Copies of this chain bind each other. A is one copy, B any other.
Amino acid sequence: MSTDYGDADPFQWDTREDCQVRQILDRIADKWSLLVIALLDNRRLRFTELRREIDGVSQRMLTVTLRSLERDGLVKRTVHPVVPPRVEYELTPLGATLHATIQSLVTWTEAHQEEIAAARESYDHREAEAV
């Protein structure tokens, strides 16, 4: 590595803004991407099915999200040449490996949501009486 940023610290990783990992993290840690990947586990879903399952997503955002996931090779898009059109989405093998990680994030959140809610309440309470 020519421009040696800090790979001195073994605990450290490249945190530069133009870093590949940072850019990819921003993409997949996106609000809708997370949900799509979580929902596509071992399933093939149509556009409308996904839209219905993800409460609050607009058509535009679902399209945009699916496009970038497809571009990143995480989701496979299959168009059936019928009328009316039928488009199905599923995880690629690469996407499937990511799913495990995403799922652990979801599981962690489910497991600790009460702790977080409690922490928030306690925090807000301290704030309130501090004022």
Contact = CB atoms under 8 A, between A and B. Distances in A.
Size category of the A interface is 35 or more
A79 interface: no
A86 interface: no
A109 B55 contact: no
A104 B106 contact: no
A37 to B, nearest CB: 12
Q: How many copies does the complex hold?
A: 2
Interface in A50-82: 53-56, 70-74
Contact of A16 (B13, B25, B55, B117): B55
Dominant SS at the A interface?
helix
A41 interface: yes
Contact of A20 (B41, B71, B117): B117
Interface of A: 11-13, 15-17, 19-22, 24-26, 28-31, 34-35, 38-39, 41-43, 53-56, 70-74, 94, 97-98, 101-102, 104-106, 108-110, 112-113, 115-120, 122-124
